[in-house]
Amino acid sequence: MAHDPHDHDHHHDDDHSELGAMDLRVRALQSVLTQKGYIDPAALDVLIDTYQTKIGPRNGARVVAKAWVDPKFRDWLMRDATAAIASLSFTGRQGEHMVAVENTDDQHHMVVCTLCSCYPWPVLGLPPTWYKSAPYRSRAVKDPRGVLAEFGVSLPDDTAIRVWDSTAEVRYLVIPQRPAGTEDWSEERLAELVTRDSMIGTGLARAPGAGE
């Protein structure tokens, strides 16, 4: 396992120092609105979950699926992920500087942000709660194979695991391995196999026929 900060200093811009205060404000506002009966917390949770796990990651899934079927796009993505992703109109704050890393039989990539929760929102939506947790941020570096096992991912002993540390300057998108038996599938169909976790590296793409 190699913990590589990609030769960039892990400096975080002012946004991250203010996220805590902003989060507190949002929570306070949510509490007031709930008490006044203006919002339903359960409905809000469903809305957030929908964006976090369904709508958001669909952008990244389209990027991955295109890379699987289009060699030229795949090469562009590996060479300049920011431009390749922008060509699909997936741009925005926290997605300005992207790097794509590709899983193979020999090497598996996993992404973490050890100091806070830098995350490529334009392609993955909202970061999951566990991604922001201190245990994941520390253990992903110290024991990546153990963390993967907890996510249900068991890799061969000879598969190297490389952990990438996101920063305010650079964020990563893992390109999972294309499942076998999908040789004639369309991009749209392939995108359905790409999960959020597989693009973080804590999961694999779904096998054909696998349930949600």
Catalytic residue list: 113, 116-118
Angle between helices 41-50 and 14-35 in degrees, nearest 10: 140
Q: Which token pair is 12? A: 């975080």
| Distance of alpha carbon 145 from alpha carbon 93, whole angstroms | 31
Residue 140, Ramachandran bin (φ over 0: left; ψ between -120 and 50: alpha; else beta): alpha
- Helices H / strands E in the chain, number of each: 11, 5
Structural tokens at position 148: 């993967």
